[in-house]
Amino acid sequence: MAEEEAVSLSSIAKSQCLQTKEFEKQYKEHISGFREWSLFDHADRYMLFPQNIGKHLSIDEVSLSNGELYTVITNKSAKGKKGAIVAMIHGTKACEIAPILRKIPLNLRKIVKEITLDMAHSMELIIKEAFPNADKVTDRFHVQKVVSEAVQEIRIDIRKRIIKEENEYVKWHRKNRIKFRPFTYENGDTKK
């Protein structure tokens, strides 16, 4: 009896799953208007929303799936909510992105006064070609990252020199049969 109920419940679940898939298909193909969407013919390559342009934009690349890169331009005043996306374009090459952005009327592109970007050269070229009045501002995350990496390199270099110097002192002390005691600061730390 329990097996019959389990088989019955399993067939009900399968039936409901098939109905759900059929509804999804009907919604996409007929109800939603997806096929009549004005961006349908090029949405896989780019989407432009010129109505979302503002004075302060951000540009960056993002990987959505399988390592495919997209260039995304957002309006900062929307704060990531509705109306934030100005453009989403497949790829990151300036020679491919800028012509698509030039489809936005020049009078709208001239509204842009400032664009925040990372340090990628292609992003600078895109801004230069597509947004003639915009000042480029490197975002603080990338500036902090570069500074932090530079400080780390200097710290590692100094540490290597100090270790080499100390090793030479140790050798000299061993050669002269003197016990080596490294210089110690007031707080107990050594140069290393």
Mind listing the pLDDT tens digit for each residue in 115-137?
A: 999 888 999 999 999 999 999 99
Give the DSSP H/E element, type plus range, for residue 18: helix 2-26
Instruction: Clarify whether residues 122 and 155 are in a common domain.
Output: no
pLDDT-based confidence at 8, cuts 50/70/90?
A: low
Amino acid (1-letter code) at residue 123: M
Residue 114 and residue 124 in contact, taking contact as beta carbons nearer than 8 Å: no
Instruction: Clarify whether residues 96 and 62 are in a common domain.
Output: yes
Specify the pTM: 0.65
Instruction: Clarify whether residues 54 and 130 are in a common domain.
Output: yes
Minimum mean pLDDT among 17-31, 67-81, 156-170, 174-188: which range?
A: 17-31
Q: Which residue has the tokens 């331009």?
A: 73
Instruction: Clarify whether residues 9 and 62 are in a common domain.
Output: no
Instruction: Clarify whether residues 118 and 54 are in a common domain.
Output: yes
Domain span at residue 183 reads 139-192
Instruction: Clarify whether residues 59 and 122 are in a common domain.
Output: yes
Three-state SS for 81-139 is CCCCEEEEEECCCHHHHHHHHCCCCHHHHCCCCEEEECCCHHHHHHHHHHCCCCEEEEC
Residue 135 and residue 115 in contact, taking contact as beta carbons nearer than 8 Å: yes
Minimum mean pLDDT among 12-21, 172-181, 182-191: which range?
A: 12-21
Q: Looking at the predicted structure, is the pLDDT value of residue 88 above 70?
A: yes
Is 122 part of any domain? yes
Is 129 part of any domain? yes
- Report helix angle 121-130 to 94-101, nearest 10: 30
What was the pLDDT predicted at 152? 95
Is 160 part of any domain? yes
- What share of the chain in percent tops pLDDT 70? 90
Give the number of domains in the chain: 3
What was the pLDDT predicted at 171? 92
